[in-house]
Structure 1
Amino acid sequence: MSMVEVTRQGPRPAIRLRPAPRREPLFDDERDPDSWTSPDQLALDWAHLIAGDARPAAVTEAPPPPIRTVVSGVSADAKLAVRRFVKLCVEVLNGYRPPAHLRRLAQPREAAAVVAEGLSGAQRVARVRRASSDRRCPRRPAPVAVLRLRLCEPRAGAVEAAVVLMIGDRAWAMALRLELHEASWMATTLRLI
């Protein structure tokens, strides 16, 4: 968007408003280590000083550094999987689905814990709604709504999310972790606070 201000002395230069970026650019330490290390750098062997040996140790070729990739941002597949899982959790909390439906999106080892957390969350929401209906509100209770969703992919194949939920007049938090197993994203952790 450009604006031109007209004054008595004539028009002033245009002012351009540009949107701020949603995320900061990558830092140097977040790049792949191969992009900033030199292959010609010598590896120093300090083992002889630690062991107390005054003689220099034989020069051995150091093993190549492990390949470490840093995930910047969250992949599109991870975003889609988290949104799908959060939508299912909200439907469970609202009472539209039974908590057992969370089992098919959870890893088998942690499925019981994920379903139990969904069940306890649905029971807590029901208690909050009963308490608010005691105030003689003739209208239907407001459904659980997602206010904010923050994602983080700490490593490739794992995504963590923090969700702010609005339940009645209170804000609750939900934390979850999904991991990629055999081309499907499966929940390993679910916490409702």
Structure 2
Amino acid sequence: MPRYEPPFDDELSPQVWASARQLPLTWSVSQAPTAPDPTDSARSPATPPVDTGAPLSAADAPPVVAGASSDAKLAVRRFVHLCVEVLNGYRPAGHLRRLSLPSDAADVVSEGLAGARRVTDFRNASRMGNRRARRPVPVAVLKLRLCEPRPGAVEAAVALVIGDRTWAMALRMELHQQSWSATVLRLI
């Protein structure tokens, strides 16, 4: 047989990728994935576990994966955009309250206010050295990294730039009553 021909199906050796803890692939939308049956430890790894219909326990929860869901990404981008507008002086810091959890809103607003003051101080100091600069240098987002450590909670690290300085902003948002709310905001 010529070397450029692919092998026939009966010539291929089976590749086993399944592990003992692999969840079954269910095609129906109404069923949630279930945990493997611990009594079937003698089963071969290539055989999929039996779907028992039992919900996953906390010990069988999926591992934390870098990144976040699309809803979480949208909520974080919206919140970061609002924070940048507060830092640039286009909005008052009180506008952060409506996107914050009520119990944490005072801390989030005070951190936004402190950040806006720091930006103003930086602009005033840089304006003293350069009298020709008329338009203030805006705060801009350099990079945004997200992680969803558990469903319903997202954490973000944001690199901000103003002039020749780089700042960091960290935040956490949680899903409460079908809306994302900020619980922590830190400017470094």
TM-score by length of 1: 0.68
The reply to whether residue 68 of structure 1 matches residue 61 of structure 2 is: yes
2:102 corresponding residue in structure 1:
108
**CA distance 1:37–1:157, shift in 2 (3 Å):** same
1:164 corresponding residue in structure 2:
159
Distance 2:85 2:130 in 1: 25
**CA distance 1:65–1:159, shift in 2 (3 Å):** closer
**Counterpart residue identity of residue 120, structure 2:** A
**Secondary structure of the structure 2 residue equivalent to 1:134:** helix
**After TM superposition, where is structure 1 displaced by more than 2 Å over at least 4 residues in a row?**
30-39, 64-67, 69-73
Deviation for aligned residue 1:120: 0.3
**CA distance 1:162–1:37, shift in 2 (3 Å):** farther
Higher alpha-carbon Rg: 1
Deviation for aligned residue 1:136: 2.5
Pick aligned residue for 2:128 from 124, 134, 138? 134
Deviation for aligned residue 1:35: 6.6
2:92 corresponding residue in structure 1:
98
The reply to whether residue 41 of structure 1 matches residue 41 of structure 2 is: yes
Cα pair 1:128 1:168 within 8 Å, conserved: no
Deviation for aligned residue 1:70: 3.5
Deviation for aligned residue 1:39: 3.7
Distance 1:160 1:95 in 2: 25
**CA distance 1:170–1:31, shift in 2 (3 Å):** farther
1:86 corresponding residue in structure 2:
80
1:186 corresponding residue in structure 2:
181
Superposition RMSD in Å: 2.5
**Secondary structure of the structure 2 residue equivalent to 1:141:** coil
Deviation for aligned residue 1:41: 3.3
**Counterpart residue identity of residue 138, structure 1:** R
Q: Deviations over 1:134-164 (max 9, x none)?
A: 0133221210000000000000000000000
Deviation for aligned residue 1:176: 0.1
2:168 corresponding residue in structure 1:
173
Identity %: 62
TM-score by length of 2: 0.70
Q: Deviations over 1:92-114 (max 9, x none)?
A: 00000000000000000000000
